[in-house]
Amino acid sequence: MSTRVPQERRRRRPTRSGVLLSESLIVETALRLIGEHGPEALSVRRLGAALGCDPTALYRYFQGTDDLVLAVADRIIGDAMAGFVPGDDWVASLREMALRVRAGYLAHPRAAALASYRVTRRGNEIRAVETGIGLLLSAGFEPARAARLYLAFIDTVLSHAATDAAFHALPPQRREADRRAWRDVYQKLDPVAFPALTAVRPELPGMADSSFEEAVDLLLEALAARAPTTTGTRPRSAGPRSGTPLSPPGALLSPPAGPRTGTPLTPPGTRLNPPAEPPPKAPPRTPVVP
């Protein structure tokens, strides 16, 4: 059921500061307040003060602060997806969608904490879901499967993007302290107590970096491997700090390993246990003549 405020209830006169209220202006102001002061700044009273209007005027546009939060979340989606046109390659298109979502959250890191787990039920979100599921349908997935796989895809993207945004929302000194921990604390661990960390010690400073693209590419590789059609290409991204692709362009996915054996599963149609060669026939026995 829609919670949108009817058009006839909206203000048509400027505020006392000369500003003509609109849903878009209120959302922009809410984003600015959240960016400057954090999510706790989102209140009708503070919005009214920022807009130079009586706080009750905002109820002509939104049912309440939660309705406004949904509009803010939808604006982030709309800004991130602006100008996006899916291409023929469904894998590459999903990858671009993921990168756009992350960029949108990094542009508003404090608002991302409010937006990542909500269903806005507004136009920008609806169009994004339509696009994502449409890409999976174009890959040949059945409708039920396409819907579930899109949910797995977008939940992974939103969660990882929100984590990156939360880190960027920290004060600079806290971000730097977290980065230094991988260079300082983890470099001084007892090798006897922590042999695995000691084995990868030179790589540990890189743990301060985001693994967003690697995680998305792993997910897209799994989707491509399950796709009934081959219209998409495998994602290409650099390995962690190496500059080398995770897999060569155009390379086929490796066959899955058999359970606990490390050996590839047999190709389709291959008999697991071919019949043994029949034993050679014994030469006919010569009858003994008494």
Give the pair of three-digit tokens for residue 160.
């990882």
**What's the pLDDT at 19?**
75
Evaluate whether 47 touches 26 at the Cβ level (below 8 Å). yes
Q: CA geometry: angle at 43 spanning 65 and 164, to 5°?
A: 80
Measure the CA–CA gap between 220 and 231, rounded to whole angstroms. 13
pLDDT in tens, 42-84: 999 999 999 988 899 999 999 999 999 999 999 999 999 999 9
Measure the CA–CA gap between 54 and 13, rounded to whole angstroms. 13
Measure the CA–CA gap between 42 and 127, rounded to whole angstroms. 27
Q: CA geometry: angle at 154 spanning 149 and 155, to 5°?
A: 95
Evaluate whether 233 touches 220 at the Cβ level (below 8 Å). no
**What's the pLDDT at 113?**
85
Q: Is-above-0.85 flag for pTM?
A: no
Residues in the chain with pLDDT < 50?
A: 1-2, 8-9, 236-276, 286-290
Evaluate whether 232 touches 89 at the Cβ level (below 8 Å). yes
Measure the CA–CA gap between 129 and 150, rounded to whole angstroms. 8
Measure the CA–CA gap between 167 and 113, rounded to whole angstroms. 11
* DSSP assigned state of 268: T
